[in-house]
Amino acid sequence: MASYQKQLLKSVLTFSSVILITAGVKAQQITIPVETETTALVLQATAGKDLNTVYLGQKLNNKADYDKVAAAYEQPNDYSVLFNSAYTPSGSRNLLEPAISVTHADGNNSLELKYVSHNLTKVDDNVSLLTIKLKDPAYNFMVTLFYKSYYKENVIEQWSEISHLEKGNVTLHKFASANINLRAGSYWLRQYHGDWAKEMRPEETQLTHGIKTLDSKLGTRADLFMPSVFMVSLDKPSTEDEGQVLFGGLEWSGNFRTDFEVDPKDHLRIISGINNYASAYQLKPGTVFKTPAFVYTLSGNGKGEASRNLQNWARNYKLLDGKGQRLTLLNNWESTYFDFNEQKLGELLKDTKKLGVDLFLLDDGWFGNQYPRNDDHAGLGDWQENRKKLPNGIAAIAKEASANGVKFGIWVEPEMINPKSELYQKHPDWVVKDPKRDEYYFRNQLVLDLSNPKVQDFVYNIIDSLFIKDPALAYIKWDCNAVIYNAYSAHLKNEQSQFYVDYVKGLYLVLQRLRAKYPEIPMMLCSGGGGRVDYGALQYFTEYWPSDNTDPLERIFIQWEYSYFYPAIASANHVTDWGRQPIKYRVDVAMMGKLGFDIVVDKLSTNDLKFCQDAITTYNSLKSMIWQGDQYRLLNPRENSVASVMYVNADKTSGVMFNYLVNNRYDEGSKAPILLKGLDAEKNYSIREINIYPGSKSPFVSERIFSGDFLMKIGFNPYVNSGRSSVIIKIDAVK
């Protein structure tokens, strides 16, 4: 018997002789609190061994009080006594939306999950991992629930492992990552929707009884219409600094599904996981199905605090190189599109140096020979340099880059294929397409079948061979421009319903292999804009591309919403020619994250160029604060004519405040002082305007001194108006 099977059998045998490690015991109940600095999630195994969530909210002062919570909330007529199950099984007593639903090897559809044991491990001073084993008393079918808690960040990740030792496969019909329960008088869901160039548009509504579902069925580019991130405010819509609010999201780059069920007891059940749409999964005996993590944080002080919790957690634990450096860059996409050659790139490399950024990023169009990539109709899949455009290969461009003292990066879209490609002719069976249906294209392309290990090798080798050609390659932009139509895998044969899940697992296998060999190379997660932004992928990527829409006015709104869930260091913001705002406005907006440019440097006026060069120097002096500091949203562009955001360093000695006019109507502007946040009330601060356009006069040329107390209670007016549509203020503690 394999050692894994032995282990499973052991957990079956210990079912009746439970070993408890941390437990407050009341009668036969077992109370299991998961605590962070401010939050408590309290699970409880009942006398009947059902595992319930009895509390998710602000931490109580006295741990022993958690034992009394269930009784305090007791209500009659919970018919199944499962309404607040910690992982709701289906087909037995359950009456509500399940977290898990299966058909056993013998064809039986019922499932009960009874508490077996739990174990709490301290991973380090800040991180704890609670595991809870559950088992069906009638079947050798097991689920282990995982709760990883991050004390200082007030973040919890939840996932599950499903396994069995039945005499044949078990079909998993639903397999959620988390099933959480909240209690409040009302629940207010803030969700996001979008499309290309329209990412992260919020909508906020009160949840009513029944089920509201957020989901994606797009396969790849899964967030195009809707990302999995959301907020739920309790009792009333929370504001930036007030109210109880939970932020959540699934760490998964494919189809997701989150159900919000206000149940007959007026509780909110949130069940989130991989979308089970067309995805019944055959689980062999002795194997484990591991669900992706669902991450969440709960704040008692509004959205701002919740966002800082997630940003801190991401930088400390999830985002690749979250505490590290990033490269400023010049990208050639919007300045050349597909139309370039070695000579033109040589000029752009000189521009990169002239501008003063770290890296030149060569975008789409450098590959394909039989089917050259001269537009988006051909060439994807044929990752050989186009001999006409680049007769000496990318190695020559890379060499030229280093001669100019700049680094070199390159665009790839390795999961995709144009039907017009040599690859398609050679390996039609590697392509996701249904033999019984007509091909249907998204941006003239199809998706490669990453459930197939041969395709995984191919995709891995695309990137690996780029590094072999140019060992100094310093940056990858990984794009993904198509959704999946006709989801059929030649490789999976009669296991088609595993395709959506196995695709993402295949993608992660490739990324894991790449990260094993190239642990630190910065990589941008791009998906025709923000079609794929999630923490499942961001553990392999240093940054994401929020949107192809780089109109700075639009970006203020888009970046604002992303920033609730992702830290500024991960937001790739490029200055382009989109929009009608002056260069200063465009650069200022892009500075609120990871700065890049995609403009024709050559065409900049002397003053514009000088401004950009100086702005890059200024940015380099500010970037550690923007990337690693605490972000505070001061004025919401959806509610005001001015948007204002600030970043403060950890010891509150320095801050930077970005202010923009977002309404061009007559006489709009900052009419009143804006309240600053996150400063030390006891400190005095100097205030001055920075990033001033050559020749412009600022009303704040000389430093002004204010106490932190004053700035946070009375505020400061940066005088934003139509003549000063973008203003950056630097704040520094003075002795």
Q: Which residues here bind ligand GLA, judged by CB under 6 A?
A: 333, 363-364, 411, 479, 481, 526, 528-529, 545, 548
Point out which residues pair with 597 in neighbouring strands.
330, 575
CB of 348 to ligand GLA, least distance (A): 15
Which residue, 426, 477, 435, is CA-closest to 454? 426
Which is closer to ligand GLA, CB of 242 or CB of 577?
577
Query: Which 8-state DSSP code applies to residue 590?
Result: H
| Residue 166, amino acid | E
Residue 553 has φ and ψ, to the nearest 5°, of: -65, -45
Distance of alpha carbon 301 from alpha carbon 298, whole angstroms: 9
Distance of alpha carbon 88 from alpha carbon 83, whole angstroms: 8
Which is closer to ligand GLA, CB of 35 or CB of 364?
364
Gyration radius from the chain CA atoms: 27
Which is closer to ligand GLA, CB of 294 or CB of 411?
411
> Strand order in 594-597's β-sheet?
543-544, 523-525, 475-478, 407-412, 359-362, 329-331, 594-597, 572-575
| Residue 683, amino acid | K
CB of 363 to ligand GLA, least distance (A): 5
Which is closer to ligand GLA, CB of 141 or CB of 478?
478
Burial of 270 (0-12, 13-18, 19+ CB in 10 A): buried
Which is closer to ligand GLA, CB of 37 or CB of 375?
375
CB of 573 to ligand GLA, least distance (A): 13
N-terminal to C-terminal alpha carbon distance within the chain: 71
Q: Are 310 and 229 in contact (CB under 8 A)?
A: no
CB of 356 to ligand GLA, least distance (A): 22
CB of 523 to ligand GLA, least distance (A): 14
CB of 443 to ligand GLA, least distance (A): 8
Question: Tokens for 510?
Answer: 């490739």
CB of 458 to ligand GLA, least distance (A): 20
Instruction: For 467-513, give the DSSP string.
Output: HHH-TT--EEEE-------S---TTTTT-GGGHHHHHHHHHHHHHHH
Rounded to the nearest 10 degrees, the angle between the axes of helix 393-403 and helix 342-355 is: 30
H or E element in which residue 35 lies: strand 29-35
Cβ count within 10 A of residue 394: 20
Residue 267 has φ and ψ, to the nearest 5°, of: -90, 155
Which is closer to ligand GLA, CB of 112 or CB of 364?
364
**424 Cβ contact list (under 8 Å, min separation 6):** 381, 417, 418, 431, 446
CB of 436 to ligand GLA, least distance (A): 31
Which residue, 491, 482, 419, 412, is CA-closest to 447? 482
**735 Cβ contact list (under 8 Å, min separation 6):** 684
CB of 415 to ligand GLA, least distance (A): 13
Which is closer to ligand GLA, CB of 478 or CB of 693?
478
Which is closer to ligand GLA, CB of 545 or CB of 557?
545
Question: Tokens for 99?
Answer: 């977290």
CB of 460 to ligand GLA, least distance (A): 21
**44 Cβ contact list (under 8 Å, min separation 6):** 29, 30, 31, 32, 51, 52, 53, 54, 70
CB of 274 to ligand GLA, least distance (A): 25
CB of 545 to ligand GLA, least distance (A): 6
Cα-based torsion angle of the residue sequence 240, 245, 251, 253 in order, rounded to the nearest 10 degrees: -60
Which is closer to ligand GLA, CB of 313 or CB of 544?
544
Distance of alpha carbon 181 from alpha carbon 493, whole angstroms: 39
CB of 93 to ligand GLA, least distance (A): 49
Which is closer to ligand GLA, CB of 480 or CB of 507?
480
Distance of alpha carbon 296 from alpha carbon 113, whole angstroms: 24
Instruction: Tell me how far apart the 2 most distant CA atoms of the chain are, in Å.
Output: 80
Which is closer to ligand GLA, CB of 365 or CB of 718?
365
Question: Tokens for 657?
Answer: 């405040």
Which is closer to ligand GLA, CB of 31 or CB of 481?
481
Which is closer to ligand GLA, CB of 399 or CB of 443?
443
Q: Are 250 and 294 in contact (CB under 8 A)?
A: yes
CB of 531 to ligand GLA, least distance (A): 8
Rounded to the nearest 10 degrees, the angle between the axes of helix 453-469 and helix 499-517 is: 30
Which is closer to ligand GLA, CB of 146 or CB of 442?
442
Residue nearest to ligand GLA (CB): 364
CB of 459 to ligand GLA, least distance (A): 17
Which is closer to ligand GLA, CB of 411 or CB of 565?
411
Which is closer to ligand GLA, CB of 429 or CB of 554?
554
Distance of alpha carbon 667 from alpha carbon 653, whole angstroms: 35
CB of 388 to ligand GLA, least distance (A): 19
